[in-house]
Structure 1
Amino acid sequence: MRSLPTSTQLDSEQLLSRGRRVLATEVAAVQALEARLDGDFVAACQLLHDCRGRVVVTGMGKSGHIGNKIAATLASTGTPSFFLHPAEASHGDMGMITHDDVVVAISNSGETAELLTILPGIKRLGVPLIAMTGKAQSTLAKAAAAVLDVSVPEEACPHNLAPTASTTATLAMGDALAVAVLEARGFSEQDFARSHPGGSLGRRLLLHVEDVMRTGDQLPAVSPDTSLKEGLLEISRKGLGMTAVVDGQRRVLGIYTDGDLRRALDHPIDINAVRMRDVMTANPKTIPPKVLAAEAVHLMEKHRITQLLVTDAGNVLVGALNVHDLFRAGVM
């Protein structure tokens, strides 16, 4: 049986020093980009903003991985985009590019063979080309309508070989493009949420109170003449920790919560004799059903309450919710 190799204890200080060197190298690479933002960056933003089709991002190897992320960022911030593998493009996928599109090609050397192969096809389509490259005089750069210089003086790799600082700089330039165009479009939080309906931001900006409130038989409500005993039974049955007190037209008169009960227990009280009108909190905080659920969170936090009644324009009870409903919906 072959013995396992013994583990070598690594030098902690050396590891920390190497990690800090890598971060410093990549920070410097990104900072250097700021001075290079010029007319070509403006032209690239204009092309993306005016694109009537989709932005097609392409690149090989590590540049391709970065391209995938840039395409995803563009798509989620209001610029329809997808990634096209350049090797697949030369074997039929060029048909995915239309006359209305814009192509963003990524290559540190600007001489990636798979990209150069599809350049004539892009030119024949008359599609604008944006190059993100580390070589401003490369074949790719010379074919482009706008050239974004993502060159770095050195990679973070000690051999200056593995794409590290260069891919970080390219990713940062892609983010700069996406966000600049996002702001030019007036892309809002609501627009972002529509692209991310499954995320926490999407839930916060898309869910309305009516989407999470309790209704129908789940809605606790009693009349003002109901005994406190019956009111407590209603609270227990509906499990919201409170009950609304309503008139004959179901207009809200007040609210009674389990917190009110705890405070009432400090004094002698006959739960059979006392009426709900005598113990309710009149004119409670309410919220309309059509507002964002996030507004319910804000109202609860502001007034330090954990339940809310939902009423229409006529103060008629239409729903109720508590903090647990908002947690379950992912709004908090």
Structure 2
Amino acid sequence: MTITEPAAGPLAEEPPGRAPTLAQVARLAGVSPATASRALTGSAHVSRAALDRVEEAAQHLGYVPRRPSPPDRRSPGAVAVVVCDEGARIFADPFHAGLLWGVRRELGGRRPLVVLMAGTPGEWEAAADYLRGGRVEGVLLVGAHPDRRACVLRAAAGAPVVLAGRPLDDVALPYVDADNRGGAHAAVRHLLASGRRRIATIAGPADMAAGVDRLAGYRMAAQEAGMDVAGLVGHGDFGRLSGEHAMGRLLERRPGIDAVLAASDLMAVGALRALRRAGLRVPGDVAVVGFDDAPVARQVRPRLTTVRRPAEDLGARLARELRACAGGRPSGDRGVVLRTRLIIRESA
């Protein structure tokens, strides 16, 4: 998507003073500071007209983009964790808290830890501006789509970057992930072993590796069992409401469902609500399995059987991989996948 700015009038003179700032360039070009920054860092998400105006304004004012200053070697550089999601979702998801605690545990106070939330355009600009400051020795990137990832790589200016989660594309960056495919496979095998034969799934977003891999694990186990999955696959966004809606639609398509694997515990909780509304008992009529082993899995009734993703261990391993990258580890060992574990409780 190209961001198009409103047409601006002729360039006006700026009063003389100190070295020109990005804000002055933006004002002179008639664009926002965020757009001016994207234009000057080579982002593709800027219209041609806006790019020309920004470049003309920068040349007119004699503006030189700030270059990262070398870190003060008297103190260690920071490790920045950039979490690419809205603040409400970050604070509501205990996975992020566990991951950050694992990073902090591994750093052990040897490096400052900076957490940057980048869900809105303003937050993205603030995060990129911080990374460009030159005092970051490494970046851990959580949940970024490819366009945002490119923005972080440019702003990090050569500092090593490690991804939390497998990238969907073939980018040559190291990553640490959980075995989402194997976890989903184990969950379906457990349901099959308990006598369930019409097992549905509520899959996560198709543009996130966790959603793709958990669906792939479900399909693999279903194929091994010779199970026809037509009409048994619903979709959600990992949130509770989407799980409730998806479960309702699945029951309309296949009323005889006797089990469901939800790709997150929150979607599983939504599924429980839809099943209760339909007058179905869990696990008597329909068994339910979630994913992540979030605190809510132990709070609902019946307590959720779920696939545990080791959030703290993921965070600790991310920090270790970042340290290895900074030390020149060969790029061949770029993907680390940690085991998941099926936690059996009352719902399945």
TM-score after normalising by structure 1: 0.33
Would you tell me which structure has more helix in proportion to its own residues? 1
Which is greater in Rg?
1
